[in-house]
A and B are shown apart, each in its own frame.
Chain A
Amino acid sequence: MIHAIELADVSRAFGTVVALDHVSLGILPGEFFALLGPSGSGKTTCLRLIAGFDHPDSGRILLDGEEVTDVPPYDRNLNTVFQDYALFPHMTVAENVGYGLRVRGVAATERRRRAAEMLDLVRLGSYGDRRPAQLSGGQRQRVALARALINQPKVLLLDEPLGALDLKLREEMQVELKSLQQRLGITFVFVTHDQGEALSMADRVAVFSQGRVEQIDTPRGLYTRPRTAFVANFVGSANVVDAPAAERLTGRREAFAIRPELIDLLAADAMPAAGTISCRGTLEDVLYHGSSSRCHVRLDASTMLAVARPESGSSVEMPRRGSSVRIAWRPENMVALQAG
């Protein structure tokens, strides 16, 4: 199968800062693909290279199997939704949306008709005559989306498109983007630093750290089988236990990760179920999250584990802060981690 986008051994440095360090990845046609990572991890550089705004120091970029490394952005069959939306302030909303047709020499009447269609698609049909400055953040975001889609690109790149929206709107737009992508059937490449966003929207996620791809997997795969300590920590904030601490807990000198919700919190004198790994510790802190509480249990001077305790279904009363507790987990829930 030909990849919609392929990066082959791509590197890019800015001065002494290595933004991308020999990155290779392939994105399938029609896929909703997320580039996830903290700021400075290289995900945005990666997107800019795909769009053609920047040039790699080495490596190749392919769209649909054709090399585009040296092709300028205006000759690449993909479009971008910018983080700041980048709407042209001196044009109306309809002119903004029709811009991609205008520079391709499409006649004005045809342009207006198709711009109106696109605005209907993003449910802004009556806003064509307004200026971008007269719209709210969410509306601007949808104008940027309509503008990027009017050229019917094979690939849509989205650079933190929900970052500037408030929480409620962000959740609405997540659903909207996902359904739009399924309706249009085009490839979406989505840059985000929000792991929740990546997990809930993407078919597959590439996790970036310090210019490298740590893991490419489905959201479920990332969550249940993180390969490295970074992924385990960044995606769903699992407990990461390094090799020396693991040796003290399990007897095996091998780093592992375990999800807070897969650890049981018991009374200090309770008997752990057969076949579980269990140990004693001190309850240092309890953070209330509504549906669950996050308990920090200190095992020894250097080891602290987070335990998620569901609000309902707990038979035992919450121990007091500072009291002695016992925690237990099933060995099959531990995920062995690679070094690095």
Chain B
Amino acid sequence: MLRPISTFLHGRNAFYASLLLLPPLLWLGTVYLASLFALLLQSFYAIDEFTARIVPELTLRTYGALFTQPANVDIVLRTVLMATAVTVAAAVVAFPLANYMARHAGPKMKALCYVGVMLPMWTSYLVKVYAWRLILAKQGIVSWAVTSLGLGGVLDALLATPVVGGPSLASSYIGMFIVFLYMWLPFMILPLAAALERVPGSLLQASADLGARPGQTFRNIVLPLALPGLAAGSVFTFSLTLGDYIIPSVVGAPGYFIGMMVYQQQGTAGNMPLAAAFSVVPIVLIAIYLSFARRLGAFDAL
């Protein structure tokens, strides 16, 4: 029944390729790219301050407001700092586990690790965030455990740290950082493990054979060859943190983040141009980060 179709397609490679590409291109082209373009366009409009109406004329007034009003600059800086901290911490925490999964675990242990890393993703995002609020609360399990171990003073000292501290873990930037790290860690572990798995074991042996100590082999061979995975993972953790608005609104100190600002400006405040301008910030930052990573040679080994 399908034979006439196969026969027709045989030898018509260009037509066949366009058949394969059409659905995703339609989807990405219209739904994603077009709305992205609409968003970009919106960010070059501005709101009339008296009527609260959007004036459809191209202007840089909204971007001016974004970059000159200290409150807005603070939001951008706060978000970028948090995203950077989460990304660096995720890389540090993920590397040993990814290395173990890629190089040392037996087949069964490896499968167990992969399932273990992905298991949290089977649970609703909201459930996890609210669970973390309880875990980190003043009477939560973390402070109970720490106090029972006689380390209550350490926790208090930590929470007394200016800016990142707060009345409890659940209402401090430290707590928010912990939740972000937990939430995005799988997105760092998986690409990193995949990249490490592609490094042939003989390269590490060759390095040792030529006289490199384990630390030298790590710096000269493992790290450079894992860079594509590290870059991919960090794009995930960085962009997910930049854009998230639920974690900062459920856990942590009251300061605003970019995602919350976008949510509020396009919703209650009704300032669509400012919301658009805010959401352009992560896009630009990621683009800059990617070109930087490329220049560093992160994708040379691909």
Binding site for B on A (CB under 8 A): 51-53, 72-74, 79-80, 82-84, 86-90, 99-100, 102-104, 147-148, 151
Q: Are B200 and A90 in contact (CB-based, < 8 A)? A: no
Interfacial chain B residues near A84, Cβ < 8 Å: 200, 202
Question: What's the minimum C-beta distance from B36 to chain A, rounded to whole angstroms?
Answer: 34
Of B220, B224, B297, chain A has the most CB atoms within 10 Å of the CB of: B220
Q: For B211, what are the chain A residues with a Cβ–Cβ distance below 8 Å? A: 74, 100, 103-104, 151
Contact residues in B for A148 (Cβ distance below 8 Å) = 209-210
Task: Name the A residues within 8 Å of B202 (CB-CB).
Answer: 82-84, 86
Q: List 22 A-B contacts (CB under 8 A).
A: A51-B209, A53-B209, A72-B208, A74-B208, A79-B210, A80-B205, A82-B202, A83-B202, A86-B202, A87-B206, A88-B203, A90-B225, A90-B300, A100-B210, A103-B207, A103-B210, A103-B212, A103-B213, A147-B206, A147-B210, A151-B210, A151-B211
Cβ A99 vs Cβ B200 within 8 A: no
Q: B221's closest neighbor in chain A, by CB? A: A88
Shortest CB–CB separation between residue A262 and chain B, in angstroms?
43
Q: What sequence of 0s and 1s flags, for each residue 211-231 of chain B, a beta carbon within 8 Å of any chain A beta carbon? A: 111001000110011000000
Interface of B is mostly: helix
Q: Is B301 interfacial (CB-CB < 8 Å)?
A: yes
Known: A90-B225, A100-B211, A103-B211. 20 other contacts (CB 8 A): A52-B208, A53-B208, A53-B209, A73-B205, A73-B209, A74-B208, A74-B209, A74-B211, A74-B212, A74-B213, A88-B203, A88-B206, A88-B220, A100-B210, A102-B220, A103-B212, A103-B216, A103-B220, A148-B210, A151-B211
B212 with A86: CB separation less than 8 A:
no
Q: How far in angstroms is the closest Cβ of chain B from A209?
A: 26
Chain B residues with Cβ below 8 Å from A99 are: 207, 210, 212, 220
Most buried by A among B209, B216, B220, B221: B209
Distance in angstroms from A119 CB to nearest chain B CB is 16
B301 touching A90, Cβ below 8 Å? yes
Mark each residue of chain B from 192 to 206: 1 if its CB lies under 8 Å from any CB of chain A, else 0. Answer: 000000001011011
Alpha-carbon distance A245/B228, docked complex (angstroms): 65
Tell whether, in the assembled complex, residue A82 and residue B206 are in contact, meaning their CB atoms are under 8 Å apart.
Answer: yes
- Which residues of chain A are within 8 angstroms of B209 by Cβ–Cβ distance? 51, 53, 73-74, 79-80, 148
**Bound complex: CA A97 to CA B183 (Å):** 43
Q: Is the interface of A mostly helix, strand, loop or mixed?
A: loop
Closest to A76 in B: B209
Q: How far is the CA of A84 from the CA of B225 in the complex (A)?
A: 17
Top 3 A-B pairs, shortest CB-CB distance: A100-B210, A86-B206, A86-B202
Give the most central of A51, A72, A73, A102: most B CB within 10 Å.
A73
Evaluate contact between A89 and B225: CB separation under 8 angstroms.
yes
Let me know if B205 and A82 touch, CB within 8 A: yes
Question: Is A73 a contact partner of B297 (Cβ separation < 8 A)?
Answer: no
Q: What residue in chain A is nearest B204 (Cβ atoms)?
A: A86
A104 to B209, CA, bound (A): 12
Against A, the Cβ 8 Å flags (1 = close, 0 = not) of B284-297 are 00000000000001
Name A157's closest neighbour in chain B (CB-CB).
Answer: B209
**Within the complex, what minimum Cβ distance (angstroms) separates B255 from chain A?**
41
Closest Cβ–Cβ distance, residue A159 to chain B (whole Å): 9
A80 touches B225 (CB 8 A): no
Q: In the complex, which residue of chain A has the Cβ closest to the Cβ of B227?
A: A90
Q: Which residues of B contact A53 (CB under 8 A)?
A: 205, 208-209
B237 to chain A minimum Cβ distance, whole angstroms, is: 24
Shortest C-beta distance, B226 to chain A (Å), equals: 11
Q: Is the CB of A86 within 8 A of B297?
A: no
In chain B, positions 47-77 with a C-beta closer than 8 Å to chain A are none
- Closest-CB distance, B254 to chain A (whole angstroms): 46
Q: Which of A80, A82, A90, A147 contacts B297 (CB 8 A)?
A: A90
Closest to B202 in A: A86
Q: How far is the CA of A173 from the CA of B66 in the complex (A)?
A: 67
Min CB gap B62→A, angstroms: 44
Measured CB to CB, the closest approach of chain A to B207, in angstroms, equals 7
Alpha-carbon distance between A82 and B208 when the two chains are bound, in angstroms? 13
**Residues of B with C-beta under 8 A to A73:** 205, 208-209
Query: CA of A151 to CA of B208 in the docked complex: distance in angstroms?
Result: 13
A99 CA to B211 CA in the complex, in Å? 9
Q: How far is the CA of A73 from the CA of B214 in the complex (A)?
A: 10
Task: Quote the shortest CB–CB distance from B240 to chain A (angstroms).
Answer: 28
* Nearest B-chain residue to A48, judged by Cβ: B205
In angstroms, Cα B221 to Cα A99, docked, is: 11
Give the distance in Å from the alpha carbon of A102 to the alpha carbon of B225 in the complex: 18
User: Measured between C-beta atoms, what is the minimum distance from A245 to chain B in Å?
Assistant: 46
The CA-CA distance from A53 to B203 in the complex, in Å, is: 12
**Which residues from chain A contact B207 at a C-beta distance below 8 Å?**
88, 99, 103
In the complex, chain B residues whose CB is within 8 Å of the CB of A151: 210-211
Cβ-neighbour of A90 out of B206, B208, B224 (below 8 A): B224
Shortest C-beta distance, B84 to chain A (Å), equals 25
Q: How far is the CA of A268 from the CA of B301 in the complex (A)?
A: 68
Q: For residue A72, which residues in chain B have a CB less than 8 angstroms away from its CB?
A: 208
CA distance A241 to B224 in the complex (A): 58
CB distance from A75 to the nearest CB of B (A): 8
- Which B225-272 residues sit within 8 Å CB-CB of chain A? 225
Q: How far is the CB of A188 from chain B (nearest CB, A)?
A: 15
Distance of B225 from chain A, by nearest CB (Å): 6
- Do the beta carbons of B301 and A89 come within 8 Å of each other? yes
